[in-house]
A and B are shown apart, each in its own frame.
Chain A
């Protein structure tokens, strides 16, 4: 497609030069590099409801880390703290050793994070391509020619080549999730977070999504955090898994260690999510 460069296009973009022409990007737009995350004694309450209780976690650079547990145990709230959508009552979160809530850091924060929301959170007024390129265009990161190339590349990574002109309303649930992932990838994030990625998806689509995330794990060097109550999904994808219960991390380990855990809360969760309801055992 011919890049937009006529008068009306320039007028619509306020004659800002970086968006119209050129194939270059800002110096800071580097490839993804996995980051380390330390969560220290994190606490959060909403009124009388103590949602997070002294949460401590260490996540290694490039690791795929899942947080599992029943609904209402504080998994998504924890995720929102990492992307600064919530502020902790106490405790801190360090990314590459830097406190993310430090207003005046000694060294400027040199990492990008992105989140794939449970509802995908795509913008209905924009096409698939416009959704994916939103951050690049709004932040004036690259020239228009390069942006279009990045959009195509990110959509290819999630298996949605040539879908950039589709409206988001025309997409299935699984495709929406993949567009949301492509939108996140357009930032070249060092950290990507998935909030209940398989929620509202059928098993076949969940499997497709798992393959997309697995593929990304191979092709892109980034740290991944997945919050899910889909045990199989988390165990399949993750290097390590933590289980949360009642606002606390009650178990942490590799998928094999979690499967063999003797912690009654973990066993109960595994049993109910793989066998059936708790009442069937009695």
Chain B
């Protein structure tokens, strides 16, 4: 409730509160509204530096060692960061559409196709342990893999399949998000 109020209060009445897609950018792995980003950074800067400065001012007189006063001030500064983040989270809603749905059976076939490409072969269910088979039955995936395996074997009997070179496609060594 309080969140709704805060958001309405922060949005100028002239702006369409529903959805404005003019200023959307992908920054650091997700979508943001540039104007909201600037405001959020300003809010966070004021709150975090304010908390730090205030704590330094007050603790400087209370704590004997200047070094410890500074360390405690940093603690408050970091709490200020979290506070600033929390305020920004209340003011600015995520630019995400979250949809919840059960996986489509057609999707599943496609995944099996991707796995075949990536691994070169789906292998044989007969080679796995009873535990894995039981797990597949429980998840309702047994038939999917059994049928795909049968198709793969049939295709192999009919003629040589071209080997896929891009098995390592999905694996990138770098962990950067840039």
Genuine A/B complex:
no
